[in-house]
Amino acid sequence: MLYLLQHLHREDSWRLVFNLFGYVTFRAAAAAMTSFLLCLILMPWIIKCLKRARVTERVENSDSRRLTELHRHKEGTPTLGGVVLIGAVIVSGLLWADVANRYVIIALGSTLLLGLVGFVDDLMKLLRIGKRGMSGRLKFALQVIIAVGASAALVAFSSPTFDATSLTVPLLKPEIFAPRLGLVYVALAAFVMVGSSNAVNLTDGLDGLAAGCSTITALTYCAFAYLAGHSELASYLNIPFIRGAQELTILCASLCGATLGFLWFNANPAEIFMGDTGSLAIGGLLAVTACAVKQELLLALVGGVFVLEAGSVMLQVVSLRLFGRRIFSITPIHHHFQFKGWAENKIVVRFWIVGAIFALVGAATLKMR
């Protein structure tokens, strides 16, 4: 909304001030600060309200008594913090981004819907509806529907001068190899969105882990979105120029600010958890941004920690079904290191370091073509 202020510069004395609202970099910084302050201001009040309403975490894990004991001290910690986190992202995005931009509409819509799915799941867990909240099949089906809708919208409302179904392959110049997938692209993009959403959800198992890794990934895609929406920089780096994609810089910056603000209270020992409300929405926003700026495949590298977490679960399941043996003591993999005796803080900080390395390598590939 504040984006429109750039047009209110009839008087020369105010022109420089109002022109600032036209710069993506200024609005991105303002969006990050806005979402950060919203979380910082609202979270203490939300924590008190949730404690009074007894909306708190129940540490129950019938699959592992040892894990239950390791996390017993977290019993009674408020959850549903993702409501404030995602609310801050949406409010900040509406304030500072161009709300008429097609990519902003699709990204915010997907984030809100996935957050709603997570919110219902969290409520069902708290009210003990179902064994562990929403059934896995229903949750997955809703994610797929939202992801397919978002993917189809990205293709349908793309610029007529740009083929949104083309696939950018890391390390290869688009003019050398960028296959046009047609409707297959919708399925691929939906897979990326569902996978990213669930991967962030799986990562959210230790204090500050998902929030910190999400900040790193969002910051990287903040840069990617800015580069993709800048014709000269996109041409220099041999990446697709997507007109309007620069507005996603504001949303990614909003996510950075919100996750940092949430991390203030979620750092060990956590005062609040984000729940599925936050994790599903965060993964969805990152994936929509990755697909919009044509760096879908690179998300697997930039968000390498999320891939490791989800991959550990899949490998464990396959190994147990085929060979009857465990590869890890327990999955997701961060719990495996807990079983090895690593302190929770050490696991989280080391995963942040690994996440930062993945992000730097991913960013470097833009020039390695």
Question: 47-59 pLDDT, tens per residue?
Answer: 999 988 888 777 7
End-to-end CA distance of the chain: 38
Give the SS3 label for residue 250: helix
Q: How many CB atoms lie within 10 A of CB 248?
A: 32
Query: What pLDDT, on the 0 to 100 scale, is given for residue 283?
Result: 96
Asked if 21 contacts 6 with a C-beta cutoff of 8 angstroms, the reply is yes
**Per-domain residue ranges for the chain?**
2-364
Phi, psi of 56 (to 5 degrees): -125, 165
Query: What pLDDT, on the 0 to 100 scale, is given for residue 16?
Result: 56
Query: What pLDDT, on the 0 to 100 scale, is given for residue 61?
Result: 58
Q: Is the pLDDT of residue 309 over 70?
A: yes
Closest CA to 362 of 201, 239, 178: 239
Cα 334 to chain centroid distance, Å, stands at 19
CA distance linking residue 120 with residue 125, whole number of Å: 9
What's the pLDDT band for 12 if we cut at 50, 70, 90?
A: low
Q: Is the pLDDT of residue 62 over 60?
A: no
**Share of residues in the chain with pLDDT > 90 (%):** 67
Question: 194-238 pLDDT, tens per residue?
Answer: 999 999 999 998 999 999 999 999 999 999 999 999 989 998 888
What's the pLDDT band for 67 if we cut at 50, 70, 90?
A: confident
Q: Please list, in sequence order, all residues whose beta carbon lies within 8 angstroms of the beta carbon of residue 312, skipping any fewer than 6 positions away.
A: 327, 328, 331, 332, 333, 336
Helix axes 24-52, 248-266, angle to 10 degrees: 40
pTM across the whole model: 0.93
Distances (CA, A) of 23 to 5, 245, 256: 11, 14, 19
Asked if 301 contacts 286 with a C-beta cutoff of 8 angstroms, the reply is no
Query: What pLDDT, on the 0 to 100 scale, is given for residue 18?
Result: 62
Quote the tokens at residue 352. Answer: 């942040």
Peptide linkage before 332 cis (omega within 30 of 0):
yes
Phi, psi of 166 (to 5 degrees): -75, 150
Quote the tokens at residue 133. Answer: 């909240």
Q: Is the pLDDT of residue 14 over 90?
A: no
CA distance linking residue 99 with residue 169, whole number of Å: 30
Distances (CA, A) of 120 to 163, 177, 203: 36, 42, 20
Asked if 187 contacts 146 with a C-beta cutoff of 8 angstroms, the reply is no
pLDDT top residue among 60 and 123? 123
When the pLDDT of each residue in the chain is averaged and rounded to a whole number, the result is 89
Q: Which range (175-184, 225-234, 327-336) has the least confidence?
A: 175-184
37 exposure class (CB count in 10 Å sphere: 0-12, 13-18, 19+) = middle
Query: What pLDDT, on the 0 to 100 scale, is given for residue 220?
Result: 97
Taking every pair of Cα atoms in the chain, the longest distance, rounded to a whole number of angstroms, is: 75
